A and B are shown apart, each in its own frame.
Chain A
Amino acid sequence: MSKQPFLSGKKGVLGVILLIIFLSALPIVLEAEESYFIYFLYISFIYITVAQGWNLVAGYAGQVSLGQHAFFGIGAYVTAMSWDAGLTGYLDPVAMFSSGAIAALLAVIIGLPLLGKLRDDYFALGTLGFAEILRVVFIQGKDITGGPIGIMLPSGRYAGMTPYYYISLGIAVLTLVCIWFLIRSRFGLGFVAIREDEQAAEANGIPLLRSKILAFSIGAFFTGLCGSLTAYYSFHIHPGGVFTLTWGLLPLLMTILGGIGTFWGPVIGAVLLAGVFELANMWMPELHTLISGLFIVLVTMFMPNGVVSLVKGGDGPPFLYRIGPFRSLFGQSNTGRVSDGAYENGAENTIQR
């Protein structure tokens, strides 16, 4: 099947560039400081980044991690602690980069035993256990981490919503571009091979542990970046806020909802879920989680392969595929096809268990 991948088509590239220009111009058109929409986009960009980071590990490399909140928290704490100690400043790129880097380093350190020894669900629970241990360590960290109260940062430095918007947009674009090229490189193809069949991948000369750790640490890096930005945004970092399992589960929900193992799935899932959360919160704060839960249940029941399957199609001709603009926007990529096949095969294996 010779479907042209999304970015190789001129229309697709042009569309994405136009979208980025449009998003960059938005704070100028809208009142950035007051507009709720700008905040919504800011939070969506963060969700997109975290979800895409998880998608790389779980969707492409097949290693489902339930411990992403460890990296998010570490990113936030590195930023907060280095600012608190006077090493870095407000919205300091060095601090943000090192937050991501330390999260990635942590991923390598715990990835060595966990990815080396554990498989599938055991790995997922292992990462969960690790992240929960880290949370307790930060709660019990006394003066170094500020204990359960955490670290207060000088909120007088708040420079308005606009810089946050642009930084989050930048991080999201950086993540998407990096992962876009990564999954087309030999590493990315290695990830997919590992997900499909570890033994076959190993037999074909793919270094299993190294590839898995690479995916895990890159995902951790972007998650750490988001944690860092969140530290700058909230000015108050405490273990209950940044090490909460919510940050471990959100990427999972968004990615699966959008379509796991696809490039656009996490993006769609993140924006969609952020929208549902924010709208439900605005209109019916009482029923907020009820609506979100119902939404998740219904979407999963009727689109088990994610919202992306609407466009990419399951058995019959794709639902939106005949509509021109959608075709160029969501043109089926090679990796996308592989994952489709993979999930169909997987479904064959687990059919009606």
Chain B
Amino acid sequence: MVTISSLDVFIQVIINGTLYGCIYGLAAIGLSLIFGSMQIIFIAQGAMMVLASYFTYWFFTLTSIDPLLCFILLLPVFYALGAIIYRVCFKRVARAGKNPTLLLAFGIMVLFERAMALLWSPDTRSVTTDYTTMSLSLGNINISYIRLLVFVIGIAATIIVFLFLKKTMWGKAVRGSSEDPHAAALLGISPVKVATLTFAIGISLAGVAGVAVAMSYPFDPYFGFIFSLKALVAVAIGGMGSVGGAFIGGVLLGLFESLGSYLISSGWADAISYAIFLIVLIFFPEGLFGRSAKKV
């Protein structure tokens, strides 16, 4: 029998898992965008997130700028960072296929992680604001405002990216170019420009996710790798190349994890989420919302 109080806990666990999953989702949208249009598995996404977390930490402790403002302040910074990374590193490797880009992403990840460890020391940091502990109470259920905010931002980001892809000329160019780069190039769409734009947007999303991480969790320079892996798994659950799917995949993953650790034990949480991931893949080999990968 499920008693009332354990039902409350259960609902609380579901809410926490969903909100935690939003951060996975945010990281996953960026990855999905980058992967979908360039076939780059950008494993350094987590390192970019943590970089944003450190910037937030810096702004907050040095100039006491509110972390909420960082969402807007860091967007252009990470947009530029993404564009630079693409232009400097990936542009010349893009022709060589998927494996070298993965290697390059890995090298960038190691480089950033170590640089962050040197710059900010490997200690765990956290950003604590006045409203960090404030939460919305509904009966016995508490929802932290920050997590709620992350949830809203995640959904907003998904919708914005979705609208960008569907409604704007540039979005159409991105989609066209990812479907058939040659045909797109023939129609006057510059592959390099489109790729730079996509990459920059992907990294900007990592920046947003990083600010969210800084507000909700303690972090250290190597914290991001797990996020990269989980975001990749989220992308696969949702279906490679599907933006909405990636966000939903992330939320589902967060949900599995917290349910697993609540119902069985926290030590098994990772195993459970990966097991569910494998089961999903066995039944939906292209992910839940994947378009058929078999292009003629």
Same assembly: yes
Residues of A in contact with B (beta carbons under 8 Å apart): 64, 113-114, 117-122, 125-126, 128-130, 132-133, 136-137, 139-140, 245, 249, 252-253, 256-257, 260, 286-290, 292-297, 300-301, 304-306, 343, 346-347, 350-353
- Please determine whether A297 and B233 come into contact, CB atoms closer than 8 angstroms: no
CB distance B97 to A350 under 8 Å?
Answer: yes
Instruction: For A314, give the chain B residue with the smallest CB separation.
Output: B96
For this complex, 29 residue pairs linking A to B, each with C-beta atoms less than 8 Å apart, are A113-B282, A117-B281, A117-B282, A118-B281, A122-B286, A122-B287, A125-B277, A126-B278, A129-B278, A129-B281, A130-B278, A136-B267, A256-B102, A260-B99, A290-B115, A293-B110, A297-B104, A297-B107, A300-B100, A300-B107, A301-B92, A301-B93, A304-B93, A305-B96, A346-B98, A350-B97, A353-B39, A353-B177, A353-B181
Once the chains bind, are A136 and B268 in contact (CB under 8 Å)? yes
How far is it, in angstroms, between the C-alpha of A249 and the C-alpha of B102 when the chains are bound?
11
A136 contacts which of B37, B110, B177, B271 (Cβ < 8 Å)?
B271
Tell me if B95 counts as interface (CB < 8 A to partner A): yes
User: How many B residues are at the interface, by size bracket?
Assistant: 35 or more
Majority DSSP secondary structure for residues of B touching A? helix
Shortest distance in angstroms between A31's beta carbon and chain B's nearest beta carbon? Answer: 34
- Evaluate contact between A294 and B232: CB separation under 8 angstroms: no
Q: How far is the CA of A166 from the CA of B231 in the complex (A)?
A: 42
Q: A113 vs B281: C-alpha distance in the bound complex, in angstroms?
A: 10
6 other A-B residue contacts (CB within 8 Å) besides A249-B106, A347-B97, A350-B94: A122-B285, A136-B268, A297-B107, A300-B104, A347-B95, A351-B95
Q: Is the interface of A mostly helix, strand, loop or mixed?
A: helix
B57, chain A: closest CB distance, angstroms: 21
Q: Which of A118, A121, A126, A252 has the most CB of B within 10 A?
A: A121
A133 touching B271, Cβ below 8 Å? yes
Task: Report B-chain residues with C-beta under 8 Å of the C-beta of A133.
Answer: 270-271, 274-275, 278
Q: How far is the CA of A297 from the CA of B112 in the complex (A)?
A: 11
Contact between A296 and B110 (Cβ–Cβ < 8 Å)?
Answer: yes
Closest to A288 in B: B114
In the complex formed, the residue of B with least CB distance to A139 is B267
Q: Mark B28-47, 1 if CB is under 8 A from A, else 0.
A: 00000001011101000000
With a cutoff of 8 Å between Cβ atoms, the chain B residues found around residue A114 in the complex are 278
Q: Which residues of B contact A126 (CB under 8 A)?
A: 278, 281
Residues on the A chain within 8 Å of B108, using CB: 293, 297
Residue numbers in B under 8 Å from A122 (CB-CB):
236, 240, 281, 285-287
Interface residues of B in 53-83 (CB under 8 A from A): none
B169 at the interface (CB under 8 A from A): no
B185 near A352 with CB under 8 A, answer yes
Q: Which residues of B contact A290 (CB under 8 A)?
A: 110-111, 114-115, 118
Least CB separation from A147: chain B residue: B267
Chain B residues within 8 Å of A294, by CB: 107, 111
Asked if A136 and B96 make an inter-chain contact with CB atoms under 8 angstroms apart, the answer reads: no
Among A119, A350, A351, the residue within 8 A (CB) of B285 is: A119
CB-based nearest A residue for B198? A353
Cβ–Cβ < 8 Å partners of A130 in chain B: 274, 278
User: What is the CA–CA distance of A253 and B291 in the complex, to the nearest angstrom?
Assistant: 30
Which of A120, A294, A353 has the most chain B CB within a 10 Å cutoff? A353
Write the B221-243 contact mask toward A (1 if CB under 8 angstroms, else 0). Answer: 00000000100110010001000
Give the Cβ gap from A13 to chain B, nearest Cβ, in Å.
30
The verdict on B113 contacting chain A, using a C-beta distance below 8 Å, is: yes
Residues of chain A lying within 8 A (CB to CB) of residue B96? 304-305, 343, 347
**Which of A140, A249, A300, A304 gathers the greatest number of chain B CB atoms within 10 Å?**
A300
Q: Digitize B178-196: 1 where CB-to-A-CB distance is under 8 Å, 0 elsewhere.
A: 1001100100000110010
Bound complex: CA A139 to CA B274 (Å): 15
Residues of A within 8 A of B152 (CB): none
Residues of B within 8 A of A253 (CB): 103, 106
- Which residues in B have their C-beta under 8 angstroms from that of A257? 103
* B-side contacts of A249, CB under 8 Å: 106
Looking across the interface, which residue of chain A has its beta carbon closest to that of B177? A353
A129 B93 Cβ-Cβ under 8 A: no
Residues in chain A near residue B293, CB distance under 8 A? 119-120
Is B89 an interface position by the 8 A CB rule? yes
Using Cβ atoms and an 8 Å threshold, which residues of chain A touch B277? 125, 129
B286: nearest residue on chain A (CB-CB)?
Answer: A122
CB contacts (< 8 Å) of A137 on chain B: these are 271
Task: Kindly identify, within residues 159 to 209 of chain B, every residue whose CB is under 8 Å from any CB belonging to chain A.
Answer: 177-178, 181-182, 185, 191-192, 195
Is there contact, CB below 8 Å, between B100 and A256? yes
Residue of B nearest to A127 (CB): B278
Is B38 within 8 A of A353, CB to CB?
A: yes
* Bound CA–CA A301/B87 (angstroms): 11
Nearest to B182 among chain A residues (CB) is A351
CB distance from B52 to the nearest CB of A (A): 19
In the complex, what's the smallest C-beta–C-beta distance from B79 to chain A, in angstroms? 20
Query: In the complex, what distance in Å separates the CA atom of A129 from the CA atom of B232?
Result: 11
Chain A's closest residue to B185 (CB) is: A352
In the complex, chain A residues whose CB is within 8 Å of the CB of B268: 136, 140
Given A297-B104, A352-B181, A352-B195, check contact A125 B236 (CB 8 Å).
Answer: yes
CB-CB under 8 A from A132, the residues of chain B are 270-271, 274
Task: For A113, list chain B residues within 8 Å (CB).
Answer: 282
Q: Which residues of A contact B191 (CB under 8 A)?
A: 351-353
Q: Are A289 and B274 within 8 A (Cβ)?
A: no
**Residues of A close to B236: CB separation below 8 A:** 121-122, 125
The verdict on A301 contacting B89 (CB below 8 Å), with A293-B108, A346-B97, A352-B195 known, is yes
Report the separation of the CA atoms of residues A129 and B277 in the bound assembly, to the nearest whole angstrom. 8
CA distance A350 to B191 in the complex (A): 11
Contacts of B233 in A (CB 8 A): 125, 128-129
| A residues less than 8 Å from B110 (CB atoms) | 289-290, 292-293, 296
